[in-house]
Amino acid sequence: MPKQPTDSLNADRSSLSHRIRYALRHPGRIGPYVLRSVRDLRLRLTHRDHVSYYRAVMASDAARDPKAAVGSHNEERWLALGAMQFDYLVEHGLKPSHRMLDIGCGNLRAGWRFIDYLDTGGYYGIDISPDILVAGKKVLAERGLQHKLPYLTLTQDLTFDFLPEGAFDVVHAHSVFSHSPLDVIDECLAHVGRVLAPGGFFDFTFDRTEGAEHHVLREDFYYRTETLVDLAAEHGLRARFMEDWEERPHGQSKIRVTAPD
């Protein structure tokens, strides 16, 4: 596995000592962090399950800036991160004839590129946030891609019960599991094999730690690679760490899941 900074991979960002050290290094971020903490406490009190809570988080973030809501704080970064996802998948097997399920498609940061590349009707995007899907439809119109007839659908969970068996050659989830507790990831892995076509694959990114698994404000979750590989195996799936993704300028790691023939 490629070498990453040891202190970053072993850091427990939820610990008080880490937060104090971080605050001393970045005093300008203390105010935004406090405001985010207060916002998240209020949302957790009114939305007890994770999906409802995170849907409210996305509504709050998207109201301020849809691009920032998906982790891109300016147009240049939004375009760069979308291109990174697209280029990687094309280099690793995505073909125009494929049917693709994009979990957490957001405002089509990468989705508009997939839609443009895939044959008409080949893209199916789902998200838990109606607000970010509305932003995605605006991007679709701005890019003039209506004729590609993509599907953009709101979902409440990751059971994929409304989708047919073996429908997708490629399933993709970028920056989804980094915001998901383990039971949500387990739900996805329990059902994704059913919608994968023979020979298909499921790529997902996650925030990696080699220390204690933890979360920050129940928005950002950090997992050990073996935890997710073993969880996939429990559902009869093969999972492997994508080492060459580590070479890309992105803070998350990537795993590819395939179903046995």
Q: Where are the domains of the chain?
A: 6-258
Query: What residue ranges in the chain does DSSP mark as E strands?
Result: 100-103, 123-127, 151-154, 168-173, 196-208, 214-216, 220-223, 238-241, 253-258
pLDDT score, position 3: 47
Q: Which of 76, 152, 24, 184 has its CA nearest to residue 204?
A: 184
pLDDT score, position 23: 60
Q: Which helix (H) or strand (E) holds 37?
A: helix 30-46
At CB < 8 A and 24+ separation, what contacts does 148-151 make? 148/115, 148/116, 148/118, 148/120, 148/121, 148/122, 148/123, 149/120, 149/121, 150/111, 150/115, 150/121, 150/123, 150/124, 150/125, 151/121, 151/123, 151/124, 151/125
Question: Which residues face 256 on adjacent strands?
Answer: 203, 240
Q: Which of 89, 88, 148 has its CA nearest to residue 115?
A: 148
pLDDT score, position 6: 54
Number of residues written out for the chain? 261
What is the pLDDT tens value at each position of the chain, 261 positions in all?
Answer: 444 555 678 766 666 566 666 566 767 767 776 777 788 778 878 887 888 888 888 888 888 777 766 767 788 889 999 999 999 999 999 999 999 999 999 999 999 999 999 999 999 999 999 999 999 999 999 999 999 999 999 999 999 999 999 999 999 999 999 999 999 999 999 999 999 999 999 999 999 999 999 988 778 999 999 999 999 999 999 999 999 999 998 889 999 999 877
pLDDT score, position 4: 56
pLDDT score, position 7: 61
Q: What is the pTM of this model?
A: 0.86
pLDDT score, position 28: 74
Please report where in the chains the tokens 């610990």 appear, as a residue: 15
pLDDT score, position 234: 97
- For the domain made up of 6-258, the CATH class stated in words is alpha beta
pLDDT score, position 221: 95
